[in-house]
Amino acid sequence: MDIKRKRTHKKKPETFTPLNALEETLMAAASDPSFRLEFYKDLLESELYLVHFGHPQGEGDSADSEAEYQLEIQQVEFEGEPYIPVYSALERLEENLPEGGSYLSLSARELFENTAGAQLLLNPGSQYGKAFSAEEIESILDGTVWNEVLFSFFTGSDPEPEAPPPKEKITTVEQYINSFAPATRALLRELRATIISAAPNATERINYQLPTYSLNGDLVHFGAFTRHIGFYPSPGAITAFANELSGYKTSKGAVQFPLNRPLPLELVEKMVRFRVKENTEKTKRK
């Protein structure tokens, strides 16, 4: 937790321009439900900002530890209920900072754990935001939100509706793949085999309720949705292969492969090898 002094109130911009990765996926998820999974992932890995009115115990500004602060977290009313306002960037907070207010920053996970039972409102007053119920926050922390998000993507009119994910928590990649219709299952098996071939030393597990492959850190994830397979390498991989991915829908760290087209397995293999090299070089620099 990082407690800061007062900041100057800033005028709100007329348009919402994303300031970080979280805001990019927030905007994408607001218009396209298939990006909600990526939004939740980015959220848990992000720093959030809150207004508070606490003051250090004692005189002056000599306090240098959070233990010496008495925190008074701001609350607002939204649709008739109390919410704690939080912000996805310091600049968003500064647009809404009341006179005499200070702020604190902490990781989303730490915030969720420390405000258990409360409702949170992301970016109140901005063009893009989200309300989080106490139940939703709990499901984000315990991992069950991934099932709920995936289920919402499986519904809707579809020539060959996908089976909803099982209610029990998925624990193996094989279990995950077998929960889909045969046509999708075949594509997932092809994708899985390609990843393993490109990164034979990678470990396979379920993370975020998705198949995940790791070698010196996470390499890639993938997941099946109503009309596409989501493939999640890194932002660096999406940038490096931008030309070859131009025929697909992409975001900061993800690409969507439509179910009605063959998977670009050679491209997947190149991206996985790129991720292996990327992680290896990152490990050497440490």
Each residue of 166-190: pLDDT tens digit? 445 678 999 999 989 999 999 999 9
Which residues share a beta bridge with 105?
A: 2, 49
Report yes or no: 221 and 208 within 8 Å, Cβ to Cβ: yes
- Tell me what pLDDT residue 227 has: 85
Which residues of the chain are in CATH 3.40.1350.90 domains? 2-142
Q: What is the mean pLDDT of residues 14-37?
A: 84
Residue 5 pLDDT greater than 50, yes or no: no
- Tell me what pLDDT residue 145 has: 77
- Tell me what pLDDT residue 123 has: 93
Q: For 2-142, which CATH superfamily applies?
A: Uncharacterised protein PF11572, DUF3234 (3.40.1350.90)
Please, what CATH class does the domain formed by 160-285 belong to? alpha beta
3-state secondary structure at position 18: coil
Structure letter (DSSP) for residue 222: E
3-state secondary structure at position 272: helix
Length of the chain: 286
pLDDT confidence of 71, banded at 50, 70, 90? low
Helices (H), 8-163: 21-31, 36-44, 90-96, 108-114, 134-142, 145-154
Which residues of the chain are in CATH 3.90.1150.200 domains? 160-285
Q: What is the pTM of this model?
A: 0.57
Report yes or no: 270 and 241 within 8 Å, Cβ to Cβ: yes
Residue 248 pLDDT greater than 60, yes or no: yes
